[in-house]
Amino acid sequence: MKLYYFDVLNPRKVCALARYLKLPVEFVHVNLGKGEHKTPAFLAMNPNAKVPVLVDGETTLWESNAILCYLARKAGTDLWPTDARQFEVLRWLMWDATEFAPQAGTLYFEHVIKSRFGIGAPDPAEVQKATDGFLRFGAVLDAHLKGRRYLVGEALSVADFAVAITLPYAQQALLPLQDFPEIRRWHAQLNALPAWREPFPDLAGPAALAEAA
């Protein structure tokens, strides 16, 4: 399997899961700064010109949450469950994509990506709007996590890898987490996983086989 990535949010979650599951993945770095995601060869894999992309034999898959589910199933784990928990996991994947991630992702873009790629200063109006949204939906997440180890009960799932993806950048992205103790506790558990802390092979070691768990 080949996993095409760059060290930004959505590739981070799939790289982390691949390493956590110790799957035989070849990590292929795609330099967004140099426009490598817009080449004809890459566009043939993903016409959206985005990472990540997974290529497994005849299967080419894009969209990070779909890749999470595929990798979990490929490894024979229940991180993408087949019982009634699957609907709970799907609910949190959808909620993240439509409610939480747009807020956290905007703060990440304004405070991290703009600075990294030299594309301007944070937009105060966008920051305020996203901060308000983060506080609103963060309260939903924090309340849900109370009394639960992970998003779906006591077992780790792909939903945890998806919903928590901005939290490693909380300080840089100025995520307002001070009133959300359950979110902080939950992320501390994920942060105990080496694969979560160091998901990218170019940052954690050779770009070869997944090796951290």
Q: What are the tens digits of pLDDT across the range 135-151?
A: 999 999 999 999 999 99
**pTM of the shown model:** 0.92
Q: Which residue has the tokens 């409610």?
A: 99
Paired residues of 26 in beta bridges: 2
Predicted confidence (pLDDT) at residue 43 exceeds the cutoff of 60:
yes
pLDDT for residue 213? 39
pLDDT for residue 208? 39
Is 91 a member of any domain? yes
Is 213 a member of any domain? no
Span 123-131, mean pLDDT? 98
Is 210 a member of any domain? no
Longest dimension (CA), the chain: 49
- Cα–Cα distance for residue pair 92/86, rounded to 1 Å: 10
CATH of the domain at 147: 1.20.1050.10
Same domain flag for 34 and 90: no
- Dihedral sign for Cα atoms in the order 176, 179, 182, 185: positive
User: What average pLDDT does the structure give for the chain?
Assistant: 93
Same domain flag for 35 and 75: yes
pLDDT for residue 136? 98
CATH of the domain at 9: 3.40.30.10
For residue 37, give its domain range.
2-79+195-204
Q: To the nearest 5 percent, what fractions of the chain are helix, strand and coil? A: 55, 10, 35
How many domains does the chain fold into?
Answer: 2
Same domain flag for 89 and 53: no
> What does the CA dihedral 117, 14, 105, 84 come to, rounded to 10 degrees?
170
The tokens describing 44, both together, are 């043939």
Which region, left, alpha or beta, applies to residue 153 given φ > 0 means left and ψ of -120 to 50 means alpha?
A: left
pLDDT for residue 202? 60
pLDDT for residue 132? 98
Predicted confidence (pLDDT) at residue 182 exceeds the cutoff of 70:
yes
Predicted confidence (pLDDT) at residue 79 exceeds the cutoff of 60:
yes
Least trusted range by pLDDT, from 37-41, 152-156, 157-161: 152-156
Predicted confidence (pLDDT) at residue 199 exceeds the cutoff of 70:
yes
Predicted confidence (pLDDT) at residue 205 exceeds the cutoff of 50:
no
Q: Report residue 167's pLDDT band, with 50, 70 and 90 as the boundaries.
A: very high
